[in-house]
Structure 1
Amino acid sequence: MPAHETHNDRRSLTNGHCDARFAAVREAFEENFRERGELGAAVAVIVGGKTVVDLWGGWADVARTRPWERDTVVNVWSTTKGPVALCAHLLADRGLLDLDAPVAAYWPEFAASGKERVRVRHLLSHRAGLSGLREPHSLEDLYDWELTTARLAAMEPWWEPGTRSGYHALTYGFLVGEVVRRVTGLRPRAFLEREVTGPLGLDFTIGLPAKESGRAAEMVHARAEPSGGRATDFGQPAPAAVAALTNPAVGATEANSPRWRAAEIPAANGHGTARAVAGLYGVFAGRGSHDGRRILSPEAAERVREGQGSCRDLVLGAGFGGETELGLGLWLSGAHGSYGPNPRAFGHDGFGGSCGLADPDAGVSLGYVMNRMGSRIADDPRKTALVEALYRAL
């Protein structure tokens, strides 16, 4: 078998290249179409700075009229949180942001309602107690940056900040993003493009410019849910969980709308290719460097996986089968092995299936994107199959 093989099998609708050593990843990718209900998807793997897997296939729309192409982009939901965390760590690395400082040092209004002691690291680790807004917040409200951040600044936390994690499904991006804006004058979309995706040539944006809409894959509802799911499907039906996952409720229909794509929702509406996701998480896997460019110092890249304490997440609860642990912006693989057998590997899943993974110890990053949403908020079987195949090949 040649060291580098091209695969163009229209029967399985998979295309691209895969080094022979990683044939198990290609096989798992094809099995996702045959056995796990995949519609359209792509997967990319970078090892030691070299792209060893770059596969795509299937259909970009539910009617199966548009094949998934090399440059098809798709909404990756919470996989967007990794690049947003990267923005904060880049500022910290430059001495412009102190992760142990009170958020109010950069965002004075945030001190309201007893939040004067909430630290920047609490935002990154979902420990700020602001998993969702207390007052009803519509989709139209969500599209309004100033309104959303003002309501977050004014609200009282659901629990004592710093004591437990509770997944900030939509609010994370506004919280971390507003700190980025207060420090730089730029929201995360512009800052990420200027500092990371532009210099690295990565096909990833927060939101999607209208001129690029023709490349976007159509998101398809989870088979088990007609929309974004219910809080009780993923964890405890506590008010903090209900607020996090249903205020407002979002799903495939919303993600396909021009308004969603035009908005800046840095926790949930990043659009990109698997290649770009692997590159962004590859900055962490490369200990701060990717494609010959240094984005972070090695120390800053290592800080991302600094554990903030294991606990049963107050929002996801039983959805992760027990205790989990966040670093400063990303989930640690831990005992669950969500990002491979190295417990100190880390990454982030996107609602319905997508994933970014970084393992600096192995020098590996992975990006997986898709358009048929599964019913799980994390550890979709398709992603798990790809991760397991990758580590078998290493």
Structure 2
Amino acid sequence: MAVQGTVATGFEGVREEFDAFLTGEEHEPGAQLVVHRGGERVVDLWSDGVTGESLLGVFSSTKGAAYLVTALLVQDGLLDLDRTVASYWPDFAAEGKGEVTLRELLAHRAGVVGLDAGLTREELADDRAIAARLAGQRPFWQPGRFFGYHALVIGALVGEVVFRATGRTLHEWYEERIRAPYGLDFWLGLPEREEPRFLTTLPMLPTPEQAAEMEAAAYSPYSMTGIALNLHAPDNGELSDLPNSRTVRAKGQASAGGIGSARGLAGMYAAAAFGLDGRAPLLKPDTAAEFARVHSEGNDLVGGAPDAFGLGFLAMGVRFPFLGADSFGHSGAAGSLAFADPRQGFAYAYTRRRYAFPGGTAPENERLLRSVVRALG
């Protein structure tokens, strides 16, 4: 497979690593890789099956936009991390959730990971509909005591707080403060005019060994994990097919419905941490550090394994110890990963068209990331 695009002097090793993955036994039919050093784009690569301008479903990498909007509003004084969610959104106080703070919600400690009855596909595309259903939902653990990944609903929950506090949707704030000023190719609500550039997500093609592993590890639809992934809903469908729905793309739900390119994701994090086009960084250092600081660490009750979160963002320095401790970003189920590393001065984004095994951060990211850190010296 042919690698296309450009790298700056000193980043040739990144291109070699990208090429080695694409031409190896585990080659991926359609991937993009972009790196910014500060505000300068120094890596812009893609493989056969996509172009640099192709738009892909990025699943939970979408959450980075939701958390960045929230961080900006906290920075502006429009949101207070230590106020209760119910003080902004009174209906949320139902079923013992009245003392949950915005900080706890962002740290995945609220316990409202899904609905007892599940969400329809139509509801799952619409953050306001998700929030309306979740307001009366009982939590699945004592809020604040444990944490678990609110995989498909955190964007709706945080977005409802934003709407109740400001009278404007999270999507409106994202478009006005982040996407439009920088012309970012990452959308919460893909306009019809951009549809020709969208490429459908391809389903996972596991090897026989991987298929057996998946079958052995299958979750009960009624487990904590199953409820968080909406597996118990009658018309749930395959998660890998989520962005292939025009309704999902148009509404751009803020947990997993974003559509974009590696250029768009990397540009968003570069703008947040370093500034682009001569502008100052969107986040002040103290704000970025607070949102990156680990707030939840240990056993994730949804994932059933050790994990770590800042305020919404994944604690990237815990997942990849060769990154800076205050790195912040998010991955997506199809294998995408995007983040900023303020200490080492770079922003990174990787996207892929085919759903990754076993879902989540695609394993090739570690090899690619190490090559970037080596190039940075």
For normalisation by structure 1, the TM-score amounts to 0.87
Deviations along 1:25-83, one digit per CA (max 9) or x if unpaired, are 11121123212231111111011221110112211xxxxxxxx2231111100001111
Structure 2 Cα separation of the partners of residues 125 and 180 of structure 1: 16
Q: C-alpha root-mean-square deviation of aligned residues, in Å?
A: 2.4
1:311 maps to 298
1:220 to 202, 227, 240: 202
SS in 2 for 1:379: coil
1:164-179 mapped onto 2 (5 Å cutoff): 164-179=146-161
**Alignment check: 8 A CA contact 1:241 1:315 kept:** yes
Identity over the aligned pairs, expressed in percent?
A: 37
Structure 2 Cα separation of the partners of residues 128 and 230 of structure 1: 29
**Alignment check: 8 A CA contact 2:126 2:253 kept:** no
**Alignment check: 8 A CA contact 1:235 1:317 kept:** no
**What is the total number of aligned residue pairs between the two structures?**
367
Structure 1 Cα separation of the partners of residues 188 and 323 of structure 2: 30
What amino acid is aligned across from residue 181 of structure 2 in structure 1?
P
2:176 to 187, 194, 197: 194
Structure 1 residues 278 and 109: alpha-carbon distance in aligned structure 2, compared to 1, 3 A threshold: same
1:123 maps to 105
1:242 to 219, 226, 232: 226
1:263 aligns with 2:251: yes
Deviation at 1:263, TM superposition (A): 2.4
Note the residue ranges of structure 2 that are not aligned, 5 or more in a row: none
2:315 maps to 332
Deviations along 1:335-383, one digit per CA (max 9) or x if unpaired, are 4417x44343232110021010211101111011110111233331222
**Alignment check: 8 A CA contact 2:125 2:257 kept:** no
Structure 1 Cα separation of the partners of residues 111 and 352 of structure 2: 31
**Alignment check: 8 A CA contact 1:231 1:246 kept:** no
Deviation at 1:231, TM superposition (A): 11
2:70 to 88, 101, 110: 88
Structure 1 residues 232 and 313: alpha-carbon distance in aligned structure 2, compared to 1, 3 A threshold: farther
Deviation at 1:169, TM superposition (A): 0.8
Deviations along 1:287-331, one digit per CA (max 9) or x if unpaired, are xx333323222221221112113211111123xxxx322111111
2:268 to 247, 272, 280: 280
1:31 maps to 20
2:328 maps to 346
**Alignment check: 8 A CA contact 1:231 1:237 kept:** no
SS in 1 for 2:135: helix
SS in 2 for 1:122: helix
2:57 to 59, 75, 87: 75
SS in 2 for 1:42: strand
1:8 maps to none
1:251 to 239, 250, 254: 239
Deviation at 1:259, TM superposition (A): 2.1
Structure 1 Cα separation of the partners of residues 265 and 217 of structure 2: 27
SS in 2 for 1:265: coil
Deviation at 1:283, TM superposition (A): 3.5
What amino acid is aligned across from residue 160 of structure 1 in structure 2?
Q
What amino acid is aligned across from residue 123 of structure 1 in structure 2?
L
Deviation at 1:164, TM superposition (A): 2.0
1:64 maps to none
Deviation at 1:236, TM superposition (A): 9.2
